[in-house]
């Protein structure tokens, strides 16, 4: 490589140039953890109810047959 190219395109970038691109560490307090847990529970409950409703809606139709009392 020529000397001019080395000045324009350095071999590797210095860490100080891109340090702002590093992701920040995740920080949640006790309130954030509680809200996250409650949200996950609510999402799971809603998904369960949706699956049960779909099973009921898409399931086979059943006809109820009543027998007279006293006969088996």
pLDDT, tens digit, for every residue of 2-55? Answer: 565 556 665 665 556 566 667 777 788 999 999 999 999 999 999 999 999 999
DSSP letter string over 35-57?
HHHHHHHHHHHHHHHHHHHHHHH
- How many structural domains are present in the chain? 1
Query: Which residues have CB under 8 Å from 36's CB, separation 6+?
Result: 28
Is residue 17 a part of any domain in this protein? Answer: no
4 domain residue, yes or no: no
**What's the pLDDT at 19?**
63
7 is a domain residue: no
The answer to whether residue 15 is domain-embedded is no
* Cα–Cα distance measured from residue 32 to residue 50, given in angstroms and rounded to the nearest whole number: 27
Give the domain range for residue 41. 29-57
Residue 1 is predicted with a pLDDT of: 52
The pTM of the full predicted model, rounded to 2 decimals, is 0.51
Token digits of residue 68: 């007279």
User: Is 34 part of any domain?
Assistant: yes
Asked if residue 50 is part of any domain, the answer here is yes
Which pLDDT score is estimated for 38? 98
- Quickly tell me which residue has 């210095």 as its tokens: 14
């Amino acid at each position: 490589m020529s000397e001019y190219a080395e000045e324009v395109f350095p071999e590797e970038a210095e860490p100080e140039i891109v340090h702002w691109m590093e992701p920040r560490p995740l920080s949640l307090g006790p309130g954030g953890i509680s809200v996250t847990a409650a949200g996950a529970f609510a999402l799971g409950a809603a998904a369960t109810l949706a699956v049960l409703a779909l099973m009921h809606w898409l399931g086979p139709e059943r006809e109820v047959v009543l027998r007279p009392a006293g006969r088996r």
